[in-house]
């Protein structure tokens, strides 16, 4: 087990190093000069050159890369081209907002997705199954930003019940969490149903039924406990979708999180902020994957082989 | 053969999805001729009209007929799905075939590339690639395609890893077949079904990602009648013209539902064990 975890942690570091390198060079391939964008349309050539020098953009790319990676090892993500503040500060200021939205969205996804999946599995082939799976199929086929727009139209524009801008009150969490969470709930519901059906077909379930265990006991004690490994893995696999979904949801709801920060920085060519944001997102994603892998290995000893 | 093909349409939902897909193709080919108005024609006196009257879906902020623009947008979305899946599939085959066939350090290298690409949220990768490739009608589609390469590469690799151990591959090798011949004529045809299912299902994801790129302002640019960019423009009119936020999104969802049902049906058709589930 320790060797398995050590190997996974080692691989995480390699992936992060590659992600940092990849984002560094990918951003430098984007046409256009960040110094020109920062200096503004009225700037002279010498102004642009001064900005370029102040940001170390006049140095050769390999030198910029070694300096960036060297600083990264010291925990220094560099400085924002626009605000001149340390990227780490900007990332840390927004990271909790993204994390909070991720947690509330995942809560929505699990609270809706798992019961719907169990419900559909219990009514296999019946109207309830067809209907709930039909709705979840619609959920996975709908762009999350459009779902968000429909929720805004319904709850903010039509009934004026919920705010759709910023994050001043707890009410502000409802629409973005539903936007992000419902699509993931649809995925979780479909996959939970399949896992439950697999378990419900097993001999030990037949034995439990034969021994006179109530239907609720069979489903919630015998079946659900055995399907839990797959359900946890399913939830873990959805974390990637959750982090990706943040980018567009935060933009739609003007949520001051990492996703929106990266989008804004990318369009403004503030490469250091983009690199820092991507690195932190990649770090989160790989750590969450690692935790899912460990959970999986703890729950299912066959995986360790 | 005919009976087999009819088996694919066994479920009514598959038939409905196929009909919708056929209609979408017809709209792609003849959209602008069927449309009641030219999709770019502005009429500022008639702007932000609600649905009804002479305009089935109403008009947008430039007085353009929304129905005509939604019809014209089908071409963009379907080609986005097709082009990006082709790019992703080609890249996936180029990486996945050698990795799965030879294994060893090559496999580890390819998996490291895939893991690195998958560590980025797909939409961010597509955004950065779209900016690298610059403006152009096909660049967002290619960017979405490149970002889906690791998904295809992993699938192709896992298929090759399992198929290469089968006895008929050993037999082919004993009969003197070379690596390229075995990979292309013995393993690939057997992996084809699974890869095609993934390609069809991935088309739905690609259509959504391309629309998301446009929604974020990095895909198709106005006045192009692309569904995602039409929804982006609609954000400014939530209160005065909510209909602008409804129809383009409905078009994306119907298209993706049809594509996903066809992908699901293809999977069930090729793997009868799944039919009961």
B111: nearest CA partner in chain A? A15
B264: nearest CA partner in chain A? A137
Confidence of residue A161 (pLDDT cuts 50, 70, 90): very high
- Is B215 touching A (CB cutoff 8 A)? yes
| Tokens 């993706």, located at residue | B256
- The torsion angle over the Cα atoms of residues B9, B10, B13 and B17, rounded to 10 degrees, is 0
Check residue A101 and give its pLDDT.
93
A157: nearest CA partner in chain B? B239
What mean pLDDT comes out for the span A65-80? 91
* Chain A residues 30-69 with CB within 8 Å of chain B: 30-31
Q: Which residue among A18, A149, A197 sits closest to B116, beta carbon to beta carbon? A: A18
Q: Per the structure block, which two tokens stand in for A158?
A: 């039509």
Confidence of residue B3 (pLDDT cuts 50, 70, 90): low
Question: CA gyration radius for chain B?
Answer: 22
Residue A140 vs residues A119, A189, B35, B124: alpha-carbon distances, Å: 18, 11, 30, 20
Domain for residue B210, yes or no? yes
Check residue A303 and give its pLDDT.
57
Check residue B124 and give its pLDDT.
84
Check residue B201 and give its pLDDT.
87
Domain for residue B36, yes or no? no
Check residue B2 and give its pLDDT.
56
ipTM over 0.95: no
- Reply yes or no on whether the pLDDT at A145 is more than 90: yes
Whole-number percent of chain A with pLDDT over 90:
39
**Alpha-carbon distance B147 to nearest alpha carbon in chain A (angstroms):** 13
Domain for residue B79, yes or no? yes
What mean pLDDT comes out for the span B226-253? 93
Q: Which residue among B131, B215, B257 sits closest to A266, beta carbon to beta carbon? A: B131
Q: How many helices (H) and strands (E) does chain A have?
A: 13, 0
C-alpha span between A275 and B153 (Å, rounded):
25
Domain map of chain A by residue range?
A: 2-73, 88-299
Predicted confidence (pLDDT) per residue in A11-40, tens digit? 888 888 888 998 899 888 888 788 887 787
Helix ranges restricted to H, chain B: 2-8, 12-34, 66-102, 104-119, 122-133, 139-147, 149-163, 167-174, 179-181, 188-215, 227-234, 247-270
Domain for residue B215, yes or no? yes
- Is B103 touching A (CB cutoff 8 A)? no
Q: Which CATH architecture has domain A88-299?
A: Orthogonal Bundle (1.10)
Check residue A239 and give its pLDDT.
76
* Chain A residues 223-242 with CB within 8 Å of chain B: 240
CB-based contact B236:B166 (threshold 8 Å): no
| Secondary structure element (H or E) that encloses residue A110, with its range | helix A87-122
Name, in order, each residue with C-beta under 8 angstroms of B276's C-beta and a sequence gap of 6 or more: none
Domain for residue B82, yes or no? yes
Interface test with A, best of B110, B120, B258 (most A CBs within 10 A): B120
Give me the domain span that covers residue B93: 21-28+59-275
Average pLDDT, chain A: 87
**Alpha-carbon distance A139 to nearest alpha carbon in chain B (angstroms):** 9
What mean pLDDT comes out for the span A95-109? 92
- DSSP annotation of A79: B
Domain for residue B33, yes or no? no
Predicted confidence (pLDDT) per residue in B74-112, tens digit? 999 999 999 999 999 999 999 999 999 998 999 999 998
**CATH number, domain containing residue B146:** 1.10.3720.10
Check residue B272 and give its pLDDT.
61
Name, in order, each residue with C-beta under 8 angstroms of B233's C-beta and a sequence gap of 6 or more: B60, B61, B222, B244
Give the closest residue to A292 by CA, choosing from A230, A232, A227.
Answer: A232
Domain for residue B85, yes or no? yes
**Alpha-carbon distance A6 to nearest alpha carbon in chain B (angstroms):** 17
Check residue A305 and give its pLDDT.
45
Q: Which residue among B129, B215, B277 sits closest to A194, beta carbon to beta carbon? A: B277
């Amino acid at each position: 087990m320790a060797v398995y975890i050590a190997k996974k942690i080692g691989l995480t570091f390699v992936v992060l190093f590659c992600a940092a390198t990849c984002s560094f060079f990918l951003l430098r391939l984007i046409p256009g000069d960040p110094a020109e964008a920062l200096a503004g349309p009225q700037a002279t050539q010498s102004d642009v050159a001064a900005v370029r020098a102040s940001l170390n953009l006049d140095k050769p790319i390999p030198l910029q890369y070694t300096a960036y990676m060297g600083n990264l090892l010291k925990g220094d993500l560099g400085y924002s081209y626009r605000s001149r503040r340390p990227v780490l500060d900007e990332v840390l200021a927004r990271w909790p907002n993204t994390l909070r939205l991720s947690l509330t969205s995942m809560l929505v996804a699990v609270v809706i997705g798992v019961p719907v999946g169990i419900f559909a599995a219990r009514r296999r082939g019946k109207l309830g199954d067809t209907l709930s799976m039909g709705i979840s199929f619609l959920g996975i086929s709908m762009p999350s930003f459009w779902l968000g727009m429909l929720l805004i139209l319904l709850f903010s524009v039509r009934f004026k019940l919920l705010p759709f801008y910023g994050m001043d009150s707890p009410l502000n969490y409802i629409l973005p969490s539903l936007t992000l969470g419902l699509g993931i709930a649809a995925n979780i519901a479909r996959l939970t149903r399949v896992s439950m059906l697999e378990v419900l077909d097993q001999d030990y379930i037949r034995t439990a039924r034969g021994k006179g265990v109530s239907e609720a006991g069979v489903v919630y004690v015998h079946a659900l406990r055995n399907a839990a490994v797959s359900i946890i893995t399913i939830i873990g696999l959805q974390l990637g979708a959750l982090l990706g979904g943040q980018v567009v949801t935060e933009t739609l709801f003007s949520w001051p999180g990492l996703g929106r920060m990266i989008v804004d920085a990318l369009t403004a060519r503030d490469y250091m902020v983009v690199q820092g944001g991507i690195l932190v997102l990649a770090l989160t994603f790989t750590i969450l994957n690692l935790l899912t892998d460990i959970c999986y290995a703890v729950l299912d000893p066959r995986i360790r082989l | 053969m005919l009976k087999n093909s009819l088996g694919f349409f066994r479920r009514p939902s598959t038939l409905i999805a196929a009909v919708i897909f056929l209609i979408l193709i017809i709209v792609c080919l003849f959209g602008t001729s069927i449309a009641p108005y030219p999709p770019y024609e502005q009429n500022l006196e008639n702007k932000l009209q609600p649905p009804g009257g002479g305009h089935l879906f109403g008009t947008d902020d430039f007085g353009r007929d929304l129905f005509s623009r939604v019809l014209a947008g089908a071409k963009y979305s379907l080609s986005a799905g097709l082009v990006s899946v082709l790019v992703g599939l080609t890249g996936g085959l180029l990486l996945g075939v050698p990795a799965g066939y030879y294994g060893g350090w090559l496999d580890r290298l390819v998996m490291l590339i895939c893991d690195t690409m998958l560590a980025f949220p797909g939409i961010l990768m597509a955004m950065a690639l779209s900016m690298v490739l610059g403006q152009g009608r096909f660049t967002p589609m290619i960017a979405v395609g490149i970002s889906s390469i690791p998904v295809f590469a992993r699938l192709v690799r896992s298929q090759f890893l399992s198929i290469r151990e089968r006895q008929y591959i050993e037999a082919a090798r004993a009969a003197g077949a070379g690596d390229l011949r075995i990979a292309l004529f013995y393993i690939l045809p057997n992996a084809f079904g699974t890869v095609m299912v993934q390609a069809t299902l991935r088309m739905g994801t690609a259509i959504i990602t391309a629309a998301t790129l446009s929604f974020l302002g990095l895909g198709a640019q106005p006045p192009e009648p692309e569904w995602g960019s039409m929804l982006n423009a609609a954000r400014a009119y939530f209160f005065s013209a909510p209909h602008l936020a409804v129809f383009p999104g409905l078009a994306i969802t119907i298209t993706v539902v049809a594509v996903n049902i066809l992908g699901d049906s293809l999977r069930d058709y090729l793997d009868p064990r799944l039919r009961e589930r």
